[in-house]
Structure formats: structure tokens, C-alpha cells
Amino acid sequence: MLKDSQFVKIKVTVPYEAFERVRHALGEAGAGRLGNYDHCSYSYPVKGKFRPLEGAHPAIGDVGKHEEVDEICIECICHKDKLQGAIEALRRTHPYEEPAIDILPRYEIE
């Protein structure tokens, strides 16, 4: 049987040079805390693809041009009480103007 969890999963991609900075900021904000462990996360390489539109101020690439960037995806759990602070820390340290941040529900198994 599944029941709602007090945790969510945060998922975000970052360029390689920002990986440790963003991962550390999430951990310092309380994300990735699991029992007697903190700063827990998963990471794996991905390809980010995007095209900045008029009015954008891209950290990478040029307005109107398609871009492909080697990135790392970071996933970590976060207690709902720590979520707002974790997202604020993520946004403060992420180099992108509009980082794609997923907040996914979690369930506990009874």
C-alpha cells in the first residue's frame, strides 16, 4: 500500500562547471537529508537542448540559435518543510536564467 510522503524529489540539470556549486547549495539548504546522512543525491550526464528567444539573456549560447550543452542531472529528496529554501538556494547558484526544475511527488510503502 502506498501513502503520501513528507518528501519530494528535486530534479534539475546544470552545466558541468556548476554541478558541485548547485549540489552543495541544495545540501546546505537541507535537501538530500536521509536519516543519518545529508547531501545525498544522484547525478548522471544528459544533453540539454534549447533555443533562447528574443528577450532572453542566456548564460550559454545566442538568442535565436539552437544550442546543445553537456549537462549533469541532479536528483535529491527534500522534506517538504525544506523545499522553499532548497529551491531558493538552487536558483541563487544555478547559472541559467530559467533553470528547468522538477518537483516530483514521492510515496511511502506501508
On whether the CB atoms of residues 10 and 97 are closer than 8 A, the answer is no
Q: What is the 3-state secondary structure (H, E, C) of 42-54?
A: EEEEEEEEECCCC
Alpha carbon distance 66, 104 (integer Å) = 28
Tens of pLDDT, residues 6-22 = 999 999 999 999 999 99
Per-residue model confidence as pLDDT tens digits over 59-73 = 999 999 999 999 999
- Which residues of the chain are modeled with pLDDT < 70? none
Question: What pLDDT score does 110 carry?
Answer: 82
Q: What is the largest CA-CA distance in the chain?
A: 50
- Domains of the chain from N-terminus onward: 2-109 (3.30.70.120)
Predicted confidence at residue 101, as pLDDT, reads: 98
